[in-house]
Structure 1
């Protein structure tokens, strides 16, 4: 089984333009992420896939592997799908470009899902983390996920799910972390399917996979990723490295 990591890397970002090329203790953020993915030793190969000449050249200049997107893409899945369409791979892990402090333990759990799934019943695997704070649960920026007894995803939503009508029932809430592992065919099927109605309404790409019948295995983690979404996040990351 050939397992690769793909790191989608758009240059523009609404909250922090050019963040992937910002200096993080002597190296650009995207290079830190690329090197961290290599150091996990979980993947047969690691690639950056980008729409930016600057990012492309930054990775190539250090002997890394970069792919230039040929089209404009609305989401990471589309960008990765275009890149892997003609590759001989089995499983693709989507590593977030703005998360240079990679959680190797959680990624290894995603890889393990496919190694154990000998009947190839799982199309995707992704991460969830328990949230307890009422504000976090009600925040529409936090995508919630509910699963069945086998930890297969039932639905994702920005709304509070499930609704806690019977307060005597002990209920847990989980936030979906946008780290995906795909079988290649699931990724290609997503790429070849127009945006679906529920996905369009919620703006959650995981829903498109569900609407076209893909099975998503959720893996629980207790690690919250340290992402760089703002200049303040970058300052914290610099201090962390020091």
Structure 2
């Protein structure tokens, strides 16, 4: 029996962009567009009525920003943010608001498809081309790390720190399992312990922590 399609809500104030996303996220490739929103203030009602697996969210909209709309969905379906190279501050705010990750608007279709699938599966997607810039914005609005950060890192075992580093490099749970020659169940156990040790709510927050505190270095450029 065929798997159920991934239910997606598209949020962008440009019809042309939404049309392009519809052509990429096709049902034959395992997706179903269950709603479209032209601004952030339309999102809560759409999500409540459609029960999506993923919300693909633009950041810059006329009435309510994608960051604010993402915050309004906290505890709901995961949000994949669409961005451009100049959205660093908004991206930082979106991650704080609970976004599961971000992808560039000019990315290849295959990359967007992969990102939506990963977010639907509970993974984080932080495009390395802009991660360094996002973290600069993230740091500029964050207090400097102190003793609590050191203690949090000390609570990680050597294996958990390795898993965190691989998460920061963008590996999925399946890829981490293959890299470390352990089961996916064991990886998920390590990830849960990492969340508790670092006192973070989700994978995206853990990845940001890894970059921001030197567990893994962002790629330069972009």
- Shorter-chain TM-score: which interval? 0.3 to 0.5
Higher RCO, 1 vs 2 (CA within 8 Å, ≥6 residues apart): 1
TM-score (norm 2): 0.35
The structure carrying a bigger strand percent of its residues is 1
